[in-house]
Structure 1
Amino acid sequence: MALKTFVKISNVNNLSDARYCSGMYVDLMGFSLENDNEYFVSPTAFKEITDWLSGLEYVAEFSNSHPAQILETLTQYEGFSFIQIEEKLHLPMLKNSSYGLIFKSTISKEADLDDLLDYAITLKENKVMLNLEADKALEITPEIHEKLKNIAAKCDLLLGFGFDEKNIERLLDQTRIKGISMKAGHEIRPGIKDFDELADILETLEIED
């Protein structure tokens, strides 16, 4: 079994999410390593979760930590292939590390895409993926659709908003984005997780054997 596109899952902090997403053959699984993040995963918890998994790569997710602190934190963990950050100024400081890089950008309106269109070439030159999210429900209008298509032509774009199980395949075909990113979340109680929205999209993308 496989999925029709590249998929990254963020905010993983429990075994229920991790095992489900691994079983659906997602490509990247992200864990927050900042203590003040509600989804923080300790080195012990990370090992306990990932010992059950195989066949995917892991992303160390940071919001505002300095690169020196990021690299120091990662000495406490084993198994990460990528670092995701949100500060442009931090990218040059990490590009010579042994990790692949993902730049997360959060937009609130169409105009925010214009700066990213210019920046996309820099990301491509430095082999950095762009994880594009929105800080509120943002509909993909024809104008946004066209800008996403233009950005995707210049760098590896993971789209994190504006799709559901009904429009995801059309968006993939028409924009040529590299893939999508989605968020996991807290368990309702240990071992019990509401997978509905996540599962609907992943199952839509599933390639039947």
Structure 2
Amino acid sequence: MALKTFVKISSVNNLSDARYCSGMQVNLMGFCLEENNKNFISPEKFKEITDWLSGLEFVAEFEHTHPERILTTLQDYPGISHIQIQEEIHLKMLANTSYGIILKQQVEKIEDIEDLIKKAASYNDFQVTLLLVTDSLQMDKDVEVQIKTLAEQCQVLLGFGIDAAHVMETIEKTGVKGIEMAGGDEIKPGLKDFDELADILETLEIED
């Protein structure tokens, strides 16, 4: 069993979702390591969940934590291979570590994507993967074109505009590396619940 595209699952907070996604052979599984977040996973819970999993890599997800604090925190989470952050100013302090870096960026208008395109070469030089999310931007032809331009210059994961009926079409039109969806009980635009996540993964599944 394998998937037709690269998939990251974020905010995983329970074993059943984690085991399902692992069985579907997603590539990356993200865990929130910020204590004030409702999806926070303690070191004990992280071990409890990940001891059951194999064949995928784990992402430590942060929003505003300082890089020094991030690196200290990760000492309690063996097995993490990627760090996801939202503060671009923190990139320089983490770029030369052994971790893969994902920069989550909120894009609320098409100009936000255009601004990222101007910095795409730098992201590529530092091997930073961009994760695009939104609360308001709709996926239309103009947005697809801008994302495609961005994806031609650096690695991009798409975190919006995804549904089971059109997921492969969207990936092909935008040229992104893959997609991101939320696990746990988080509700996101375009992702109503875990059942929809499962529908998308089953759509992406390569039949034997």
**When the two structures are superposed, what TM-score results if normalisation uses the length of structure 1?**
0.94
User: 1:74, 1:195 → 2: CA distance?
Assistant: 28
Gaps of 5+ in 1: 188-193
User: 1:109, 1:38 → 2: CA distance?
Assistant: 28
Q: How far does residue 175 in structure 1 lie from its aligned partner after superposition?
A: 1.9
Instruction: Map Cα deviations across residues 19-52 of structure 1 (whole Å, 9 max, x no partner).
Output: 0100100000000000001100000000000000
2:146 counterpart residue number: 147
Instruction: Say if 2:185 and 2:194, in contact at 8 Å, map to a contact too.
Output: no
**When the two structures are superposed, what TM-score results if normalisation uses the length of structure 2?**
0.94
Instruction: Say if 2:61 and 2:84, in contact at 8 Å, map to a contact too.
Output: yes
3-state SS, counterpart of residue 131 of structure 1: strand
3-state SS, counterpart of residue 124 of structure 1: helix
Instruction: Say if 1:22 and 1:55, in contact at 8 Å, map to a contact too.
Output: yes
Matched to 1:56, the amino acid is: L
Write out the 4+ residue segments of structure 1 that deviate beyond 6 Å after TM superposition: none
Count of paired positions: 202
Structure 2 counterparts to residues 1-209 of structure 1, below 5 A: 1-136=1-136, 138-186=137-185, 195-209=194-208
Matched to 2:8, the amino acid is: K
Instruction: Map Cα deviations across residues 94-118 of structure 1 (whole Å, 9 max, x no partner).
Output: 1111111110001112221111111
Gaps of 5+ in 2: 187-192
- How many percent identity over aligned positions? 57
3-state SS, counterpart of residue 119 of structure 2: helix
Provide the alpha-carbon RMSD of the alignment.
1.1
User: 2:39, 2:119 → 1: CA distance?
Assistant: 29
Matched to 1:148, the amino acid is: I
Instruction: Say if 1:2 and 1:25, in contact at 8 Å, map to a contact too.
Output: yes
